[in-house]
Amino acid sequence: MTDLWTSSAVHEWHRALDGYEGVVARQGVAGLPELDRWYREELPESMRARRPAHVTLAELVRLTEWKMARGVWRAPNLVRVRGNAPDLVIRTSTDALAKMPHPTAPIAGLATLDGVGPATASAVVAAAAPHLYPFFDELVAGQIPELGKVAWTLSYYARYATALRERAGQLGGAWTPAMVERALWSWVGGKTGIQ
């Protein structure tokens, strides 16, 4: 099988998801395995423990480093993210996360921060609510033919997230949109060596 997206074989999806950490490690990007573990395990717990839920500037910077290490490094964007005022990040992320479960409002709110586009914003909401939101990844979107050419817009993200939510529902059990995203990323990474 060469196309995971069209597969209804749950064991193929599990195999791809189970291989995720190995694909991350094989990228050979310094610090990526540690950043990835932090993003998937520690950050969600930290965010859920806060009332109201939000991210700090330090977390937003680290999350941006994770996103870039897993994909394309854009140093100017990281500089811009670091330049946000700490209290603005807390206030903006608090307001944005309060808009969940709206499909795009939390993304739009977070994207008002300097250096934060739909992909980085989606990483925040995916950490806060992986059962609702997937991380917006170009390699993953490229595997879903009905979405067409990737566009870094809210409307494209809405269609992308809907597709991943629907697939999670079809896979059943404990599958979330975030798990579907990681399985698809792992699948293409395992086949192509992403870098």
Entry pTM: 0.93
Evaluate if residue 141 carries a pLDDT over 50. yes
Please give the residue that has the higher pLDDT: either 44 or 189. 44
Report pLDDT for 195. 45
Q: What is the mean pLDDT of residues 86-100?
A: 98
Structure confidence by residue, pLDDT tens digits, 25-70:
998 898 999 999 999 999 999 999 999 999 999 999 999 999 999 9
Q: Give the residue extent of every domain in the chain.
A: 10-192
Report pLDDT for 191. 59
Q: Please enumerate, as own/partner, the contacts of 132-136 that have beta carbons within 8 Å and a separation of 24 or more.
A: 132/100, 132/101, 132/165, 132/177, 133/100, 133/106, 133/161, 133/177, 133/178, 134/160, 134/161, 134/164, 134/165, 134/177, 134/178, 134/180, 134/181, 135/67, 135/178, 135/181, 136/160, 136/161
Q: What is the mean pLDDT of residues 150-163?
A: 96
Q: What is the mean pLDDT of residues 109-129?
A: 97
Report pLDDT for 4. 94
Helix (H/G/I), strand (E/B), else coil: 180: helix
The per-residue pLDDT of the chain, averaged, comes to 94
Report pLDDT for 2. 59
- Lookup result for tokens 């193929």: 12
Report pLDDT for 1. 38
Report pLDDT for 190. 64
Alpha-carbon distance of 93 to 153, in angstroms, equals 19
| pLDDT-wise least confident of 87-91, 115-119, 145-149, 185-189 | 185-189
